[in-house]
Structures are given as structure tokens and as C-alpha cells.
Structure 1
Amino acid sequence: MRHNPRHATTDVNVVRRLIADHPWAMLISHHDGELVASHYPMLLDQDSEELAVVTHVGRPDDRIHGLGTGEVLLVFQGEHGYVSPSWYVPGSSQAPTWNFTAAHCWGTPQILSEDDNIAVLTRLVAHFEQHVDDPMWLDPEYARPVARGTVGLRIPIERFVCKVKMSQDKDPVSVQNVIDHLVAPGPYQQARLAADMERARENGIGYASTD
């Protein structure tokens, strides 16, 4: 990502929240002279104080990525949406843009044992079934033969770059106008993105102090 100090954050809690709220991630590696990308759900490793995620890949993705032999890049993306310059106060920038939150995270995957992989698969199912009216819980014994077609991973995140671009370079009136347009019914409605803008403004991420 292009570096912009106003949009950058080194707050690990921002990255944790992004991963927790948006667990569908892209896994990218460079193996055998080729770039490889896959998409998988990932959850924070709640048993670790360090920033790490757990997931699984289907075989043969483990060989295609060369997992366990080197570093991979994980890309997490939050709410995002188009911002029209017509929403700014007169005299402001006339350039259209896109508001978003994204984190690029680097780490070296650790291959899990069969039992640990089943535990991760069980947790993944429980996490995504939790709001279903009649949830399906994964029976570990039923999962054992299915799990053999997957490879469980724990990926400690050794470093990250996180960008929270929420109109921080605009005046307060324009920022509020963008939020108002994003919550209004219509083709540009993005209520969750508006909520992220509110949160970024309240937490002062990239916004100049008014003191």
C-alpha cells in the first residue's frame, strides 16, 4: 500500500478488530518462482498474547504455497466504498476517492498437528454457525476423515502495515457530509462504512487534534 502517515496506524488493536470483524482473508506466497493467492477464513488465536491467526487450507494448497518453508502475506480488508467529491463543502478537492480499511500482515505459517487442526476446524464452524437458528456443531470424530483433506495452520503475524482511510484529510463538515450520504438510503448507502468513519473520528485515527 502507498504510505500515507495520516491514514497509517501501528495500533495492533485496530488490526485485531479488523481480523475479528472481517475474517475472510487472502493468503499470498511466492513459491517456485510464482505468485500464488488463496482465500480462506481466519480467526485470531485467542490462546496467544501475540498477534496470530489460525486457519486451514485444502490440499494441495499447502504444496502450491510451499507452506512451512517461508513467509506469507495475509491481506485483510474491512468495509469500503466510493466517496463522491460532490459531498464535500464547496472549494474542496474535486477528486473522487475510496474509503477503506486494510491490513497487510506477514508471517511464517506453522503446520498444526491432526488434533490441533481438528480443533481449529471445530472452532471455525462454531464461530460461523453461532447466529444460525439451528446451528451445526462439528463432531470431532466425524471431522477426522474430512480433516485429512486439509492442513491446519497457525500464523504468527511478525509485522503488519495497516491503513485506515476514512476522509481524515477533509474538513470536519465534509467528513460529516460523507457520513450522512453513506447512511442515507440509495445506491451509495454503506452504513457500516459510515460507522467505521465515526469510530476512526472518535478514536482520532489520522485526525488532527482540535484541542
Structure 2
Amino acid sequence: MRQNPSFTLTDPAELKRLVRENPWATFVSSTSNGLVASHYPVILDETREELTLLSHVGRPDEQLHELGEHELLVIVQGPHGYISSGWYDEKPAVPTWNFIAAHFSGVPELLSDEENLGVLARLVDHFEGELPEPRRMRGTLADAQYAERIVSGTVGLRLTPTRVVAKQKMSQNRPDHIVDAILGELGGDGPYASAGLLREMQIVHDRRRAAR
């Protein structure tokens, strides 16, 4: 991912927030048989201070990716959207695309069935916790026994990245009046309105303005 100093994202807290709020990730491996890509949910290993991802793959994806034999690239993407040049009062102007994304690379650690079962339970808890009546993976004896029977069909992994490339492109290179115009359009009812991107831009620019 091409970097620009204005948009580079290095804050560990923001990277963790990105993962927490956008847990559907893309896994990419360069294998002996060529490129392989898969899609799986990820969560943070909250027991560690350093950024560490937890996930799993369904068999035989661990073989297709040759997990543990080389680097795995995990891509996490947050809100994104089209920014029309018609929203600027600059002439000439060109449109752009605002987004936040991170590339986490490293050799993953493969987990034992017992560790994997714990990760799967935490993964389910992470999402079920938002529901009024969450159904936990170990909420009943029957559910727990079923999970123990099927866990062998998945392979758990832990990835502590050795390389992180992240970008948060939210019009930081634009003056305040243009940023405000973009925010207004994103919060409107037009075809490119986006509540998610609006919130992400507000976080970035509220922080920037407070730091002045």
C-alpha cells in the first residue's frame, strides 16, 4: 500500500480500534502454488499489550495457505467512500476516495485444539455480546459438547505482526472549510452519504483541531 506522510496510521490504539470495529478480514498468502486469499473474522488478543490478532480458518484452508511456513498478510478495512470534487470549492479539482485500512504481516502461530476452542468461544462472545439474549458457545452443555466435536474442523491462529502498514486517508490535506463541506455531504441524503465514513472523519478532524 503506497504511503503518504499525511495519511500514515501508526497509533497502536487506533489500530486496535480499527480491528475491534471492523473484524471481517482478508487473509493473503504467497504459497508454492501461487496467491491464496480467504476471508475470516479476527479479534484482538486482549491479554497482550502488543497488538496481536486471533482467528481461525476452516480446513483445508490451513493447507492452501501453508500456514506457519511463511508470512501471512491480514488486511483489515474500515469505512470508506467516494469523495466528489463537486463538494470542493476549488477549481480545478479531482475526486478521491477516503478510507482506513491496515496490513498486518507476520508468520502466524498455529494453536492447539484446546487453545482454538478458547479463541472460538471468545469470538462468539465478542459478537453475541451485542445481542439482548446472547447465545454463548458454551452457554449450555449441549452447545459446549457440539463445539468440542466440531473444533477439529478448524485451525486456530495467533498473529503478532512483525510489519504493519496502515493508512487513514480522511482529507487531512484539506482546509477546514472543505473538510466541513465533505462532512456535510457524508451526513446528508445523497448517493454517497455514509454514516460510517462521517464518524471516522469526525474522529480524525476533531483530534486534529483539538491539538492546534
Say whether 1:196 aligns with 2:200: yes
The root-mean-square deviation of aligned C-alpha atoms, in Å, is 1.6
Matched, 1:127 2:126: yes
Identity within the alignment, %: 43
Q: CA deviation at 1:147?
A: 0.7
SS of the aligned residue for 2:49 comes to coil
Taking the aligned partners of 2:103 and 2:207, their CA distance within structure 1 comes to: 21
SS across alignment from 2:174: coil
Q: Which residue number in structure 2 is paired with residue 168 of structure 1?
A: 172
Normalising by structure 2, we get a TM-score of 0.93
Q: Which residue identity lines up with residue 10 of structure 1 in the other structure?
A: T
Question: Is 1:147 aligned to residue 151 of structure 2?
Answer: yes
Q: Which ranges in structure 1 are unaligned for 5 or more consecutive residues?
A: none
Q: Does 1:105 align with 2:109?
A: no
Matched residue, 2:18: 18
Q: Which runs of 5+ in 2 are unaligned?
A: 139-143
Deviation sequence 1:142-171 (CA, Å, 0-9, x none): 201111100011111112011000011211
Q: How big is the shift at 1:210?
A: 8.3
* CA deviation vs aligned residue, 1:13-62 (integer Å, no higher than 9, x gap): 12111001101000101111401000000000011111111011000000
Structure 1 runs (4+) deviating above 4 angstroms are none
Letter in 2 for 1:40: Y
* Paired residues, number: 207
For 2:151 and 2:12, the matched residues in 1 are separated by: 32
* Alpha-carbon distance, 1:126 to partner: 1.1
Matches of 1:171 and 1:88, distance apart in 2: 10
- Between stretches 181-190 and 148-157, larger displacement belongs to 181-190
Q: Deviations along 1:48-77, whole A, 9 cap, x unmatched?
A: 111111011000000000001111111000
Contact 1:89 1:173 in 2 (8 A): no
The residue identity in structure 2 corresponding to 1:14 is E
1:85-141: CA deviations, max 9, x gaps? 1111243x5211110000011111111111110011111111111122332111233
* 1:8 matched residue in structure 2: 8
